[in-house]
Amino acid sequence: MPPETETATSSAHIPAISRDELRQGLKAGALKVVDVLPAESYAAGHIPGSISLPVPSIASRARELLPDLKADIAVYCAKFT
């Protein structure tokens, strides 16, 4: 399977949420929001209440920053990383 197809197929199973759903989840404390861009990008601007977890740090820090394995998590970035 070509990489483009694999990516499209894989991302088809990842649910998207609306801006309003994101706001409601943050307000209710029912959603963890993770910014996976570099720390410099996070420092320059991010969704209030989000957690900075740059892609290179996911393997080493995800358990520490996201200990609840059953939590709802929304991940965002501004570009492909």
If one compares 3 and 11, the residue with the highest pLDDT of the two is 11
| Mean residue pLDDT across the chain | 83
In a domain, 10, yes or no: no
What is the per-residue burial (b if ≥16 Cβ within 10 Å, else e) of 24-59? ebbeeeebbbbbbbbeebbeeeebeebbbbbeeeee
- pLDDT tens digits, 46-79: 999 899 999 999 999 999 999 998 999 999 987 5
In a domain, 2, yes or no: no
In a domain, 9, yes or no: no
Rounded to an integer, what distance in angstroms lies between the CA atom of residue 73 and that of residue 25?
10
The domain that contains 65 carries what CATH number?
Answer: 3.40.250.10
Domain that holds residue 45: 15-76
In a domain, 47, yes or no: yes
Counting the structural domains of the chain, the total is 1
Mean pLDDT, residues 41-47 taken together: 91
- Give the global pTM: 0.75
